Structure 1
């Protein structure tokens, strides 16, 4: 095997590991020296696998390999490196832990590994019967382990699918708005109509709320950009609310002011072309004087308790 490939592969793992180890002391107050050794079983195993796969991939590249196996080795190397990196570093966010980093890195890693696993199954099926002695025993044991992992994983997929479909009165569907047919047909119709009349320059304003609520639903489903929806998620993405704290206050003013000039100024400030007035806006901001919106535009959609104003810009 090409020796420089091993050196490159080794450095690609060793350098990040030492960087992680040395930066823990000045930047992580809770870090202890023993943590390095406690993390070794995981980081060491992933590191060794990464070194092996990267070295083999580089060696095959130097020899001019251009086949399916080489492509799979490349995918596997990237996947292992993603897993290895997520064990060392995480992006600091609102939660202060590695949860979201694991989500973002593990998802692509497992997608890549699923492709690698499929190719590996093909290779085993084609060449496994030729193995003899200890190699055959290792192959059989590995197969049994893989089968246990696969079938134990399949249980969750099947059980969760059955549970969710039987617990729902809607039945299986790819329509993410189907639940609104029972809960709020007026809102579904308003969303559909907004999507039909929306233009590329449109900007929509509706009530601001917490994460995993129904606030921001019309902007989210119609695809028309909204000024602000789930403020909690915005804090997660930006790190704080400095960039949009004024926006939340301005949205409240848009719905509560009785001053025509102030309303017109705020709508111009954000180039708002659509204003939603529905049950969420009324419950969030109280009594809303819709006559002001009438003077600045027209009611283009009225669906039950939902009124959508098109603002002249």
Structure 2
């Protein structure tokens, strides 16, 4: 079974030798043996860098202990008066403890269990769980400060004061990241701070393209403003975190394939579409003869074929695209500037 193969794989990564699994659909004894062999090794591996695990594991019983202790105390001290019972009922403490406990579980969980995706690591599970944990911890911090200011009075007021000062300093330190992160990425577009030609700040994501590659910017804006409906645009496909899929991303129009590895990652490694579409795109751009080009365009309902610098560098050589001549002969030019040509194709009705 597939599960047994994954267990053997995990054991191999941890350097553990497991006995051969017995034949049959159910091998309970073998499974228990595997768990008792692997679990201690997993714990030892986690304790190599124990900080996060120990902190979160300690936080959970603290939450439970606080819940039990404080509510028992409140119940004993307030049970004699109606006002006391009302205050205990309206207390924000249950909500606060629930936020902290849930956030701790969301952070602690990926230390031991994660979704094994195409990367084979836990990074995407951490992303998704930590996003929620940060929100819960952030709300808990504010609710916690409010609780301290309401509950600790007179001589005990030092507790909320110290907590607020610590929170404020930590918050200010955290704000340094978005400030400096934005500055460091803005250098790519604006230039160095001391430069006389430094460009003004902007929230326009296309400003960089407009400044450094105006031909491509104008071609993309033409598509964005003139392509009626939701036509399929053919463009080069390639690696992630690159300029590939820039036409689709900046116009919102569909394309045959953007970043193939991301499609495989989100759709699963069993999906066949990326592997089927990538050679189709390559054939259309790379083959100098028309042959089945029209059939491929019809198959994927392509209406626009985008030919820019990225297509020429990916599928051509020395700035020349092998398919340029067949495109010129068989297709209508919908838009053209110095370095970009957009061809129009009328797909055959299905």
The one of 215, 218, 231 equivalent to 2:260 is: 231
For 1:17, the equivalent position in structure 2 comes to none
> How is 1:23-42 mapped onto 2 (pairs within 5 angstroms)?
28-29=10-11, 30=14, 31=38, 33=40, 35-36=42-43, 38=47, 41-42=54-55
Shift, 1:176, TM fit:
0.7
Contact 2:152-2:160 at 8 Å conserved across structures: no
Once the two structures are superposed, the pairs formed by residues 136-175 of structure 1 within 5 Å of their partners are: 136=157, 138-165=159-186, 168=190, 169-175=198-204
Q: 2:133 is matched with which residue: 80, 101, 109?
A: 109
Give me the whole-angstrom Cα distance separating, in 1, the residues matched to 2:331 and 2:232: 14
164-173 vs 189-198, which moves further: 164-173
Please tell me whether the aligned partners of residues 46 and 83 of structure 1 are also in contact (alpha carbons under 8 angstroms): no
Question: What is the CA–CA distance in structure 2 between the aligned matches of 1:250 and 1:282, rounded to whole Å?
Answer: 16
TM-aligned CA deviation for residue 128 of structure 1: 5.7
Aligned residue among 306, 329, 345 for 1:276: 306
> Secondary structure at the residue paired with 1:260?
coil
Q: Distance in 1 between matches of 2:10 and 2:295?
A: 47
Take 1:279 and 1:157, find their aligned partners in 2: how far apart are those partners? Answer: 34
Evaluate the alpha carbon distance shift between residue 91 and residue 212 of structure 1 in structure 2; reply closer, same or farther with a 3 A threshold.
Answer: same
* Inter-CA distance 272–194: structure 2 relative to 1 (3 Å threshold): same
Query: Which segments of 5 or more consecutive residues in structure 2 lack a partner in the other structure?
Result: 1-5, 15-37, 69-85, 191-197
Matches of 2:58 and 2:263, distance apart in 1: 37
- Consecutive unaligned residues of structure 1, counting only runs of 5 or more, are 1-23, 56-62
Structure 1 pair 146–225 and aligned structure 2 pair: CA distance change class (3 A): same
Other-structure match for 1:246: 276
Higher deviation after alignment, 91-100 or 138-147: 138-147
Any idea what the Cα deviations from partners look like across 1:2-58, whole Å, max 9, x if unmatched? xxxxxxxxxxxxxxxxxxxxxx97662115615436365145235446767999xxx
SS at match of 2:262: helix
Higher relative contact order (CA 8 A, sep 6+): 1
TM-score normalised by the chain length of structure 1: 0.74
From 295, 299, 302, the counterpart of 2:333: 299
Deviates further, 175-184 or 255-264: 255-264
Give the structure 1 partner of residue 72 of structure 2.
none
> What is the CA deviation profile of residues 146-205 of structure 1, one whole-angstrom value per residue up to 9, with x for unaligned ones?
344323322323333344446623332111110112210111111111111234441111
1:312 aligns with 2:342: no
- Kept in 1, the 8 Å contact 2:92–2:147? The answer is no
User: What is the deviation of 1:255?
Assistant: 1.0
Q: CA deviation at 1:129?
A: 5.4
- Look up the match of 2:247: 218
Q: Displacement of 1:119 after TM fit?
A: 3.5
